[in-house]
Structure 1
Amino acid sequence: MTALFDWLHTVFIEQFNFWIVLGFVAQAMFMMRFVIQWIASERVGRSIVPVAFWFFSIAGGSLLLVYAIQRQDPVFIAGQGLGLIIYFRNIWLIFKEKRRDPTI
């Protein structure tokens, strides 16, 4: 049991700095996209993806990418980098569609 407490202390206390705070803020922003999607879906009674979902995806993904670069984690960098391309593409498609049909 002591080994577990030592590990928890090392991971959550000794390493605590600005980058850990940024990582938690980024993760919270990224998580908000699911909260927004859930609330929007509950309101209409079916599954939908509101535009705010993509903005939270971009904000959280960008911060997580910065965090991953600072941590020098190639798996995390690749995952967030690819995700950002997809999020920006979805925003582009939404705005392109709204320009064609302003009633959307």
Structure 2
Amino acid sequence: MIETLFVWLHVANWVEFWWVAVGLGGQLLFTGRFLVQWIASERAGRSVVPLAFWYFSIAGGLILFAYAVYRKDPVFILGQSMGLFIYSRNLWLIHAERRGG
């Protein structure tokens, strides 16, 4: 049974299995941000981007970045690092506006 799971996930050992699980968890968080945005927009009756969207983006992006580093995938690493910069900057701007500055 375990061997079948490893074959299906294309992993050779438990370390790779757990990294795949971490990567999938990051992807679920990253996908969850769209559900958060959709639900908030439906409730408001217009398109909105709630604060939780950016926190889901950061959390999912950080986990996916770690997974990309583990996989040594430069395309994935670059893509996630650029996204992390953008999500962080948006949070910075939101919190600065709330502080009045």
Under a length normalisation based on structure 2, what TM-score does the superposition of the two structures give?
0.86
Give the distance between the partners of 1:96 and 1:11, measured in 2 at CA: 47
Post-superposition, which runs of at least 4 consecutive aligned residues in structure 1 deviate over 6 A?
none
- Match of residue 60 from structure 2: 60
- Match of residue 4 from structure 1: none
How far residue 10 of structure 1 moved from its aligned partner, in angstroms, is: 3.8
Give the distance between the partners of 1:72 and 1:11, measured in 2 at CA: 21
State percent identity of aligned pairs: 53
- Match of residue 30 from structure 2: 30
Larger radius of gyration: 1
Q: What secondary structure does 1:17 align onto?
A: helix
- Match of residue 85 from structure 2: 85
Amino acid at match of 1:31: T
Residues 52-92 of structure 1 deviation map (CA, whole Å, 9 limit, x = unaligned): 00000000000000000000000000000000000000000
State how 1:1-104 maps to structure 2 within 5 Å. Answer: 10-12=7-9, 14-15=10-11, 17-100=17-100
- Match of residue 3 from structure 1: none
Give the distance between the partners of 1:59 and 1:44, measured in 2 at CA: 25
Under a length normalisation based on structure 1, what TM-score does the superposition of the two structures give?
0.84
Where does structure 2 lack aligned partners over 5 or more consecutive residues? 1-5
Give the distance between the partners of 1:90 and 1:11, measured in 2 at CA: 38
- Match of residue 5 from structure 1: none
Where does structure 1 lack aligned partners over 5 or more consecutive residues? 1-8
Q: RMSD over aligned Cα, in angstroms? A: 1.8
